[in-house]
Structure 1
Amino acid sequence: MTRDQVQSVHDDIAYMKALAQEGRQTPLLGGRILISAGLIFGLASVVAYGIDSGILAVPPVAYAVLWGGALLAFFAILIWQIRQTDRKPGAQSVANRAAGVGWMGVGLAIFVMSLAMSVVSWKMQSDVAFMLFPSLIFALYGSGWAVSATMSDQKWQWRLAIACWIAAPLIALLTGSPLMWLGYAAGLFLFALVPGVLLVRQEPSEVI
């Protein structure tokens, strides 16, 4: 190899090391989005428990209003928070871009699967398909935390990923019981709201 080729290889290695180091040093953004998701859908789940258990006497259409309203509220907040996050220092770092894409994939998967479940429910004239929704959410959240943990090298996020995957089949055991909604709310608080608060507290005024 020529001297220029050797130097080029060294430069490439140095660049890759810099990217890896950047991923470990840059605090992850997006904690506020997780807080919003955990809070909005967690509270909606508590209300769903009230409806399902008979504590709240409302017509069946209340479910559609509840979840439709929660979804619209979250989307409105999400658009605003994404714009705010993109303006922060470090938003374009490798770690934040990769984690952002990972969580975007999680969100899109949830949305697409909800549409698929709606089609199945319409075709079968049954809401059984939606009983899998909490398990699906926790399974996908586990994937999101796995990507985030890999890019940030923060071990506690791996624990979250594993906990989400364990919770996915466990929440299925509550299918058919109003307690499923309380379990779902607890999972959203533990796997989205609380870690979102931790991520926000890690954000310095100058990220990088």
Structure 2
Amino acid sequence: MTAKTQSAQDDLAYMRTVVEQGGRPRMAGALIYMAAGLIYGAETLVHWGQSINLIQLSESATLAFVAGCTLLFVLVMVVLIVRDKTKGVGAGTGSRALNAAFGGAGLANIALMAIFGVNAWRQHDFMIWMLYPCVVFALQGAAWYVAFMLRWKIWMLTVSLGCLTTSVVMGLVIGTPTFNLVAALACFAWLAVPGAIMARDARREV
């Protein structure tokens, strides 16, 4: 065994030890993740209902509904973050590593939103914008894979593979009613459920 190989193994062992000894997960982050899944899952489910003529909404009503979902999520996020800071909840090194993984994916999402949004507007092609949520789930899958490699929890690997599979499936059904249905179910399964699991773990570690 070379010195470099031994060093790499030692570094990996150290990282795993740090993660296993990490501090209490932030309840706010878990609840925000769950809220995102429930709110946006409900929104895309309504869009699916519209696409199959099960739900009838005018263009102005649809716009108001979409804006309302976004405002509701932002409100929930702000309240949870403020409450979390007020309680002075800290995060261990392991939790900070996971936060960094998801934070990085979030920053990439913002950049991609601008890229897809601007080009969809310039080309007057909504199909370009529809690629954005596919990429979002791919990035979430990558972030969850990092979480799995740090924590070695099977449910994290399941979420990672679920997000990656969802990304591919959505890419294949763009332009069909199935797109919104897959997106809705994915929001519930890969956002709301993991958020609930993380919230449960946070309560146990109080």
The TM tier, using the shorter chain, reads 0.7 to 0.9
Local SS of the residue matching 1:138? helix
Shift of 1:88: 5.8
Q: Displacement, 1:45?
A: 0.4
What residue is the counterpart of 2:6 in the other structure? none
Q: Does the 8 Å CA contact 1:25/1:152 hold for their aligned counterparts?
A: no
Select the residue among 19, 30, 34 that pairs with 1:23: 19
Q: Once superposed, what is the RMSD of the aligned Cα atoms?
A: 2.4
User: Counterpart amino acid of 2:72?
Assistant: A
Counterpart-to-counterpart distance in 2, 1:185 and 1:129: 19
Q: Aligned partners of 1:62 and 1:101: how far apart in 2?
A: 38
Q: Does 1:195 align with 2:194?
A: yes
After TM superposition, list the pairs within 5 Å mapping 1:19-98 onto structure 2. Answer: 20-26=16-22, 28-29=25-26, 30-86=29-85, 87=87, 89=89, 91-98=90-97
Question: Which residue does 1:9 correspond to in 2?
Answer: none
1:72: how far off?
2.5
* Cα displacement (A) at 1:107: 2.4
Cα distance, 1:127 vs structure 2? 0.5
2:185 pairs with 1:186 = yes
**What's the CA shift for 1:206?**
4.5
What displacement does 1:43 show?
0.4
Residue 113 of structure 2 corresponds to residue 114 of structure 1: yes
Cα distance in 1 for partners of 2:84, 2:134 equals: 29
Distance 2:113 2:69 in 1: 14
The alpha carbon displacement at 1:205 in A equals: 5.4
CA drift of 1:33 comes to 1.4
Q: SS state of the match for residue 53, structure 2?
A: coil
TM-score normalised by the chain length of structure 1: 0.79
User: What amino acid maps onto 1:28 in structure 2?
Assistant: P
Q: Which runs of 5+ in 1 are unaligned?
A: 1-12
- Which whole-Å CA distance do the structure 1 matches of 2:75 and 2:57 have between them? 26
Aligned equivalents of 1:111, 1:20: Cα separation in 2: 30
Q: Which runs of 5+ in 2 are unaligned?
A: 1-9
Matched, 1:159 2:158: yes
User: How far apart are 1:113 and its partner, in Å?
Assistant: 1.9
Q: Is this contact kept in 2: 1:49–1:179, CA < 8 A?
A: yes
Aligned residues: 191
Amino acid in structure 1 at the alignment position of 2:25: L
SS at match of 1:203: helix
- Give the structure 2 partner of residue 7 of structure 1: none
Amino acid at match of 2:133: P
TM superposition score normalised by structure 2: 0.80
- 1:120-177 deviations in whole A, cap 9, x for unaligned? 1211112011221331121011022122223333232122112211221112222111
Counterpart of 2:167 in 1: which secondary structure? Answer: helix
Higher Rg: 1
Q: Could you tell me whether the CA contact under 8 Å between 1:142 and 1:162 is conserved in 2?
A: yes
* Counterpart residue type for residue 151 of structure 2: S
Secondary structure of the 2:116 match is helix
Residue in 2 that maps onto 1:128:
127
